[in-house]
Amino acid sequence: MNKEKDKEKKNKKERKLLIQIGAAVVPAFIVMIFAVLLVVYNSTVDSFLEAKNTAMTEKLEDCTKYGLGEFGGFIAKYWREHADTVTKDYTQQEEAKFFDHLKDKDLMSQEWFESQTDEVRSYCAKLMYKIMLGSFDDRIDNQEFNSIFMVDISKDNRGFLYYYKDSENNTRKLGEKIDIDISKHKVLQQLLETGSTETVFEKAADFPADGNYYIGYQLVAKDDDSAAVLGITYDWTDFRKSLNKTFSWAFLICVAVMLAVMTILSVMLYRKAIKPIEIIQKGVRTYIRTKDSSRVEADMAKVKTRNELDSLSGNITALASSIDHYTAENIRLAKQQQQVAYELDLAKTIQESLLPGDFPAFPERSEFDIYASMTPAKQVGGDLYDFFLVDDDHLGLVIADVSDKGMPAALYMMVAKVLINNFATMGLAPHEVLERTNEALCRNNKHNMFVTVWMGVLEISTGKITASNAGHEYPIIKQPGGKFELFKDDHGFVVGAVEGMQYTDYEFTLPKGAALFVYTDGVVEARNADDEMYDVQRLIDYMNTLPDLPPAQLLESIHAHINEFVGDAPQFDDLTMLGLTLS
């Protein structure tokens, strides 16, 4: 009982499907929500800032038009080289003298400017700087933009500030230096390299001051040693904070909705999948323990999901019922097999008892020595051997092979043996015995079985054998001092196949020291794993290596040699031998 409880606790611990699904799905959804919101966030920022491009471009062009005008680099160069004097106010005397000097002359060409005295150039530079300051100041007041600045980005003068003012009227002096890491400002690098006058834009966090700025640039002055850009900035910090807050709430709401949906799905999954699976598992474990299909059917009836699990529960019920049925059937068949095995053992015992099995068979007779063996391919066989004294001077010898194997052949063999023995003990000649046996077997042979028979009668006093062969193997004979040789006798037709068959006898003599060996086809047709046949010549050759053995040792040696030749290949036919020597 405790083991079952421990097993149940272990099964509960293993119920982790919902946890596994949640562990995989929740992080994936959170990452997906974050990624989507991040894309939307960046897209919103880019769209919002790009909406400023037109206004910033117009502002920059306006500043350029009414600020520097058509003058450009040579004035900027003078401002950079005379920063201290440019920012000083000019006197009325300087202004009157300047206007008297400019009568009927082109105003502010580079050639004219460079041809003037230092005093005139100083006044012109001061005037132009004052005009630029007025123009820039007018355009920064009451605007949504944060600041306007003009700075040099050339390598030699990088960071030189010409102008800076923000919406809170914070200004910087001409000539102040600001840090610019131009490698972080790709658009400034491109302006410096190409000299383009188009307006370009970028987001910056450290230029012209710390903060979140969207900046538009225009290149307004460029010569061999300087490149001044005019910039206008939009501080989108407040927008960023508002957007961050909005998207933070959006993220939290999305996560909350996702968790709510996951909770609902988890409940549905538990009701429609997890719980039915637990019921199915419990039913299967119960069946493993009890082998009771009725309990499985009751458990499976609790699964009402209207999905594949419902079908699965029905299949498990059917499987349990089928297992019960086949288990009962197997038990029945096992009992039948036990009965058949018992009956086969009994049939084997009866068959063995019908064949002579006590050796030496005639211990009181010294004129001859006889031995026989039969090894069936199945539990019982269809081969037959027999020997018996017809009278004191005549010994009957029989070896036969039924056409089938197993129990039918064994029964047929028993009938043939009894018939042959009965007719032979009546003193009939071998051919008469075979004829009468043939007639008896043909009378009711519904299964068309037949038997090959070699029968001989030995006259013990003379060694003469009178024999008849009904389709059986040739006997093997060894004369005294000679070798075993195949004796090709005349064959008649098999016994039991055709009514009215006639058989003939023939005679040969075995003197003292001679030997006779007869056998069934299972001996010479034994095959090894390569499907190679043992054959009669191999048999004779081996027998001639053992010329003087008594029958019992000769047959045992032949049997061992056949087993060695066959190896692991199965025995497919009965193997029967009979040996006789005269002394």
User: What is the model's pLDDT at position 67?
Assistant: 53
User: What is the model's pLDDT at position 362?
Assistant: 93
392 & 527 share domain? yes
> Considering the domain boundaries, does residue 94 fall inside one?
yes
Q: In what order do the strands lie in the sheet with 476-478?
A: 368-375, 575-582, 515-519, 476-478, 484-486
| CATH code for position 464 | 3.60.40.10
Distance in angstroms (rounded) separating the CA atoms of residues 438 and 494: 8
Non-local CB neighbours of 214 within 8 Å, separated by 6+ positions? 49, 52, 201, 202, 203, 204, 233, 234, 236
Nearest to 159 by CA among 183, 189, 181: 181
227 & 94 share domain? yes
Phi-psi region of 319 (alpha: psi -120 to 50; beta: other; left: phi over 0): alpha
> Considering the domain boundaries, does residue 184 fall inside one?
yes
Asked if 56 and 201 touch (Cβ cutoff 8 Å), the reply is yes
User: What is the model's pLDDT at position 16?
Assistant: 65
Q: Which residues pair with 458 in a beta bridge?
A: 395, 465
CA end-to-end span of the chain: 80
What are φ and ψ of residue 566, in 5° steps? -70, -40
User: What is the model's pLDDT at position 104?
Assistant: 47
Q: Which residues pair with 386 in a beta bridge?
A: 398
| CATH code for position 148 | 3.30.450.20
> What tokens were used for 477?
């004979």
Domain holding 458, by residue range, is: 355-582
Of 173, 201, 235, the residue that ends a domain is: 235
Of 182, 217, 235, the residue that ends a domain is: 235
> Considering the domain boundaries, does residue 533 fall inside one?
yes
Asked if 280 and 263 touch (Cβ cutoff 8 Å), the reply is no
User: What is the model's pLDDT at position 5?
Assistant: 56
User: What is the model's pLDDT at position 12?
Assistant: 52
Mean pLDDT over all residues of the chain?
83
Q: pTM for this one? A: 0.50
The torsion angle over the Cα atoms of residues 205, 207, 209 and 211, rounded to 10 degrees, is -20
At residue 221, the 3 state secondary structure works out as strand
573 & 437 share domain? yes
Which residue pairs, CB below 8 angstroms and at least 24 apart, start in 174-180? 174/79, 174/83, 174/86, 174/87, 174/129, 175/80, 175/83, 175/84, 178/151, 178/207, 178/208, 180/151, 180/153, 180/207
Q: Which residue has the tokens 């719980």?
A: 275
User: What is the model's pLDDT at position 145?
Assistant: 81
Residues of the chain with pLDDT under 50: 1, 13-14, 70, 104
Of 235, 262, 290, the residue that ends a domain is: 235
> Considering the domain boundaries, does residue 119 fall inside one?
yes
Asked if 216 and 201 touch (Cβ cutoff 8 Å), the reply is yes
Asked if 231 and 81 touch (Cβ cutoff 8 Å), the reply is no
Pairing verdict, β 491-492 and 464-470: parallel
Eight-state DSSP code of residue 67: T
> Considering the domain boundaries, does residue 15 fall inside one?
no
> Considering the domain boundaries, does residue 401 fall inside one?
yes
Eight-state DSSP code of residue 71: -
Asked if 425 and 362 touch (Cβ cutoff 8 Å), the reply is no
Domain total of the chain: 2
Distance in angstroms (rounded) separating the CA atoms of residues 49 and 52: 5
At residue 223, the 3 state secondary structure works out as strand
229 & 367 share domain? no
> Considering the domain boundaries, does residue 425 fall inside one?
yes
Output b/e per residue, 364-396; b: 16+ Cβ within 10 A: eeeebbbbbbbbbbbbbbbbbbbbbebeeebbb
Ordered DSSP codes for 423-486: HHTTT--HHHHHHHHHHHHHTT-TT---EEEEEEEEETTTTEEEEEEES-PPPEEE-TTS-EEE
> Considering the domain boundaries, does residue 289 fall inside one?
no
Nearest to 490 by CA among 443, 437, 431, 549: 431
pLDDT digits (tens, 9 = 90+) for 318-365: 777 777 777 778 878 878 877 766 666 666 666 667 789 889 999 999
* Amino acid found at 86: V
Number of neighbours of residue 156 by Cβ within 10 angstroms:
10
Label residue 104 exposed, middle or buried (CB < 10 Å: 0-12, 13-18, 19+). Answer: exposed
